[in-house]
Chains A and B, each alone.
Chain A
Amino acid sequence: MLKDFLKPKIATKLTGWFLLITLVPLAVIVYLANDRGKEQLQHEIMNKLVVMTVERVSNIETYIRETQRTLELLVLQPSAIRALEILEEAAQQSGLKSPDYAVVEGKVRPGFSRYQAITGFQDLSFITPDGVVIFSLNRKQDLGVNYKIGPLHDSAAAKVFDLASTLLATEVSEFEFLRGMNEPEVFMATPFLKSGKMIGIAMVRLNTKEIYALASDYRGLGETGETVIGTKVGNQVVFVAPTRHDPSAVFKRKVNIDADPEAPLVQAVQGKKGQGISIDYRGKEVLEVWRYVPFFGWGIIVKVDAEEVFAPINLLRKNLITILVITMGLTIFASILISRSISNPIQILQKGTEIIGNGNWDYTVAMSSRDEIGDLSRSFDRMTAHLAKTTASRDQLNAMALQLQRSNKELEDFAYVVSHDLKAPLRGITSVSTWLKEDYADKFDDEGKHQLDLLRSRALRMDALISGILQYSRVGNVEGDEELADMNLLVKEIIENLNPPPRIHIAIDGTLPTVKCPRVRMHQVFQNLISNAMKFSDKPQGEIKVRCEEQKDAWQFCVEDNGTGIDPKNFEKIFKLFQTLGAEVGTENTGVGLALVKRIIELRGGRVWIESKLGEGSRFFFTWPK
């Protein structure tokens, strides 16, 4: 069954080509779509990520600046300066725990509370140039803490106080994870300046949540996108913000700088920017962009899962492959159908030819379809009908041939028997007439003897005629089987047998071929023609020549003599049975010879004819098909 399918049938060929034509372009498209699509998408997304990252960094920057401006505005307010001064005075004169201080504090507090409500600072505190906290809006416990020398002197707040008082400019602290807090803190400090002299520091605690919010804006990052923010702590980079996939990562997840110097977070924290595809902290492949965030010294990564990014492309590819497979199925199906529609009729036709070829002329293959195959089948039937009418089937031919053979044989047997039965009495007549002449010679006069001679000669003639008939009838039989015979030898043999007198010279002109013939018959042909030529030789020097000319499908022989020649009006006549020219009544010429020659030649499919001129000689031609 499989072998059958693999034969170069129409179905196979058609299927193969269809598949090739449809699937190759599709496959190329799928590949290209996948490949290019991925590339393009990656490019696009990366760009977006870069934009987003830059945006976020910029947003943070803006936030800080705004906060800075707000704070700086505060410290310029005369009321704020005045508040600081009286607070300082009260703290110095009476101490932070005194009721005087409390009164002053109570007076200034509402104003700053309002301020806090508007700005959203987590806390507002004032610190003396010595580092003592003399006012805290939300953390009363901080009053009196000395950043310079107290236990908090190492804290981020202390550091930023120090920086601000030294540089006389607004500073932002690091993010600090302190004392049992759930969240880190970050501070901003600004100096109060009066007449160019620093009289205190205003410090606020920033809203880390807001900062995170800016950084961790997942808008536009799909389902899996997130930001990772880290800061350098020792030889590690520590996650400072919760991530989408790990909200508890804050200060818990770390990346060792020495162990993984090429890690994006490490790179970012060191101030290097970049982008690429790699494996993230979850072990998943991601597209990421990393940048450095000033102010806080952060490294920020904005990333998105590769899976999510390429999802549309992958889906497209899956869909295309599905289409491919379906197309393949449809193509195979269609091509099989189509090829069936072609090969089935052809098979019907083929079977038809076999049946008809085996002799059944009545079989028809007619198909009703109107296409070329239908036309073929109808014209095929017409041909068959025509053949049936005009051609005898092999059986008929065989029967006819057999019949013909039988008739021939019957004729031959008949002629054979008849000729012998006719000959016997003739023999008697010749014998008796001879004896009469011998025994009664004295009783017969010359006239009587002559008449006896006539009697004898007629009887002899009759015998010759009968022999001629027998010979003539025998030409049709199969006794003379064909063989290759050298005509040169044959003719030479005949010349010898005929034993021409010296005055007649018979020769072969050139060389005669070796032909396929019944030797006996060919012998009869040449014998008759040459002996005829001898009979009609009237010149003192008789020349008889035999030659042959090769033609495409036959040999053309010629027996030429320089004898009496033949009148053209007799050309047809002399080939007739028993037809002779001139008075050969007394001779043995029965007129059978040429008729015999003609019969032999024509039965073989050749032609015999004469060219002659009276008085000059004749040329007898005959063709012998190869």
Chain B
Amino acid sequence: MKDGRSILLLEDDEIDVTAIKRALKELNIKNPLIVCENGAKGLEWLRANLNALPAVILSDIDMPVMNGLEFLDKLKHDPDLLKIPVVILSTFREESDRAKAFKLGVAGYMIKPVDAGKYLSVMETIAAYWRTSELPS
């Protein structure tokens, strides 16, 4: 991303985390990657780092304790946090899931590719979008 702000990743699957890390590396995205294993931990971190909020949050849906949609909901009701764009990375590709997410104010919804190698194109797209998109500071 443009500035040096971090990227928050909410994901509990180790392999998926690795896949994203590898993709970011390949795309030469140097922004620090924060990983939390579920929504609750994510919120915790955010609240603890209000002065260093991430530029974008990538979130899985299927997580224990607090899943992605619940996290999204909580985020968007928190005045300090709601401005942060959230992109859902999920296996759930059905219409109803997407509708739910967008109702909650998600900025993007990407399907996790079956093939880890394909993560690259997904991340590329996200990176490309956020390079172009003007985020509030």
Candidates B15, B91, B94; contact of A423 at CB < 8 Å:
B91
**Given A431-B18, A435-B18, are A423 and B13 neighbors across the interface (CB < 8 Å)?**
no
Q: Which residues of B contact A432 (CB under 8 A)?
A: 15, 116
The verdict on A431 contacting B19 (CB below 8 Å), with A424-B13, A426-B114 known, is: yes
A420 interface residue per 8 A CB criterion: yes
Q: Which residue of A lies closest to B62 (CB)?
A: A420
Partner of B62, one of A416, A424, A430, A435: A424
A518 to chain B, nearest CB (A): 14
Counting CB contacts under 8 A, is A243 at the interface?
no
A579 beta carbon closer than 8 Å to chain B: no
The residues of A that contact B91 with a CB separation of less than 8 Å are 420, 423-424, 427
Distance between B115 CB and nearest chain A CB, rounded to angstroms? 5
A299–B112 alpha-carbon span in the complex (Å): 144
Q: Known: A420-B91, A424-B13, A431-B15. Is A460-B115 also a contact (CB below 8 A)?
A: yes
Write out the residue numbers on chain B whose beta carbons fall within 8 Å of the beta carbon of A88. Answer: none
Q: Tell me whether B115 and A431 are in contact (CB under 8 A).
A: yes
Give the complex CA separation of A456 and B91 in angstroms. Answer: 18
Q: Which of A283-329 contact B (CB under 8 A)?
A: none
| Interface size grouping (class) on chain A | 10 to 19
Q: Whole-angstrom distance from the CB of A9 to the nearest CB of chain B?
A: 61
Interface residues of B in 91-127 (CB under 8 A from A): 91-92, 94, 112-117, 119
Q: Which of A416, A420, A424, A434 contacts B117 (CB 8 A)?
A: A434
Chain A residues near B94 (CB, 8 Å)? 416
Identify the interface centre among A427, A430, A435: most chain B CB within 10 Å of its CB: A427
Q: In the complex the two chains form, what is the Cα distance from A619 to B8 in whole Å?
A: 54
In the complex, chain A residues whose CB is within 8 Å of the CB of B62: 420, 424
B53-89 CB mask vs A (1 if < 8 Å, else 0) is 0000000001000000000000000000000000000
Q: Please tell me if A150 contacts chain B, counting CB pairs below 8 Å.
A: no
By a beta-carbon cutoff of 8 Å, the part of chain A in contact with chain B is 416, 420, 423-424, 426-428, 430-432, 434-435, 456, 460, 463
Would you give 24 A-B contacts (Cβ < 8 Å), ordered by A? A416-B94, A420-B62, A420-B91, A424-B13, A427-B13, A427-B16, A427-B91, A427-B116, A428-B13, A428-B14, A428-B15, A430-B115, A430-B116, A431-B15, A431-B16, A431-B117, A431-B119, A432-B15, A434-B117, A435-B22, A435-B116, A456-B115, A460-B115, A463-B114
Using a CB–CB cutoff of 8 Å, the interface residues on chain B facing chain A are 13-16, 18-19, 22, 62, 91-92, 94, 112-117, 119
Beyond known contacts A424-B13, A430-B116: 7 more, CB 8 A cutoff: A423-B91, A427-B113, A431-B19, A432-B15, A432-B116, A435-B22, A456-B115
Those 3 A-B pairs whose CB atoms lie nearest each other, nearest first: A431-B116, A428-B15, A463-B114
